[in-house]
Amino acid sequence: MTAGKNPRTVRSFVRRTGRLTPAQQRALDELWPKFGIEFAPAQLDLERTFGRRAPCVFEIGFGNGETLAEQASLNPERNYLGVEVHEPGIGHCLLKIEAQGIANLRLLRHDAIEVLKDQLPEQSLDRINLYFPDPWPKKRHHKRRIVNAAFLDLCARVLGLGSHLHIATDWENYAEHIDEQIVQSTNFRCAERRKHNGDQPLERPNTKFEQRGLKIGHKIVDWKLARI
């Protein structure tokens, strides 16, 4: 096939072959069927998935899921949906769900871009969280950064009116890039932008990658973007 007809997809992640602990492996075997949702290019019925109708928060790239599980248990009146590709992280989060008896959290193990494009219904979400996306600091890798105009369009499709997209990063150059994308977006307005030292996270708990950034002297930028 010619490259023009079938351009290679540039993804925002590379699959790391991280080792699963025996507990994470058990979680994937036994808990995934209960709390996991298989990817399918068909509209997901959120009411059926959660067994109720409630505002839904979608977290992209939840890492080990500590922050996601914490938010879900603090806000039982909301439904939480997380997407991640890193299997040990998914296993870790499943173990949290089990240990804390969290009833309002479901996980997807797939590329978030395809989930946004093909699986989530239009205007089905109340909020999207993107915390500390992979920064891809080298210039030749910038094309892998998940935040770009197409990503903002995909988020806009699935967010309802009055909803928000939250983003945080500790990489100065990525923050500049995100600012540019926001200014150019016709779907989002910056409701709040906060630069801090990890002490003023915007409507979220601190995250693992945030702590890593702080340890190497990075500042944090949080955005709250209103869907317009």
Ligand X SMILES: C[S@@+](CC[C@H](N)C(=O)[O-])C[C@H]1O[C@@H](n2cnc3c(N)ncnc32)[C@H](O)[C@@H]1O
- The helix/strand/coil state of 211 is helix
Report strand pairing: 159-169 vs 220-227. Answer: antiparallel
Query: Which of 86, 92, 218, 227: binder of ligand X (CB under 6 A)?
Result: 86
What lies within 8 Å, CB to CB, of 193 at 6+ separation is: 179, 221, 222, 223, 224
Q: Does residue 220 interact with ligand X by CB under 6 A?
A: no
User: Catalytic annotation on 29?
Assistant: no
Binding region for ligand X (CB under 6 A) out of 42-50, 85-93, 97-105, 217-225: 85-93
* Terminal alpha carbon distance of the chain: 40
Report the nearest approach of ligand X to the CB of residue 73 (Å). Answer: 17
Largest CA distance in the chain: 52
Selected from 26, 36, 70, 111, the binder of ligand X by CB under 6 A is 111
Token couple for 32 = 């995934």
How many CA atoms lie less than 13 Å away from 26 in the CB half-sphere?
A: 6
Q: How far is the C-alpha of 97 from the C-alpha of 94, rounded, in Å?
A: 5
In sequence order, which ranges of the chain are alpha helices (DSSP H)?
22-26, 32-35, 46-50, 66-74, 87-100, 112-114, 149-158, 172-184, 208-215
Q: Is 208 in the site for ligand X (CB under 6 A)?
A: yes
Work out whether 156 is an interface residue with ligand X (CB under 6 A). Answer: no
Among 178, 207, 220, 225, binds ligand X (CB under 6 A): 207
Q: In the complex with ligand X, which residue's Cβ is closer, 131 or 188?
A: 131
Q: Does 131 bind ligand X (CB under 6 A)?
A: yes
- The answer to whether 209 contacts ligand X (rule: CB under 6 A) is yes
Q: Does residue 85 belong to the site contacting ligand X (CB under 6 A)? A: yes
CB of 43 vs ligand X, minimal distance in Å: 19
User: In angstroms, rounded to a whole number, what is the distance separating the alpha carbons of residues 194 and 225?
Assistant: 12
- Which residue in 132, 171, 188, 223 binds ligand X (CB under 6 A)? 132
Nearest-CB residue to ligand X? 61
User: Among the options 111, 126, 134, 179, which is catalytic?
Assistant: 134
Q: Residues interacting with ligand X, by CB under 6 A?
A: 12-13, 61-63, 83-86, 89, 111-113, 131-134, 146, 207-210
Active-site residue list: 134
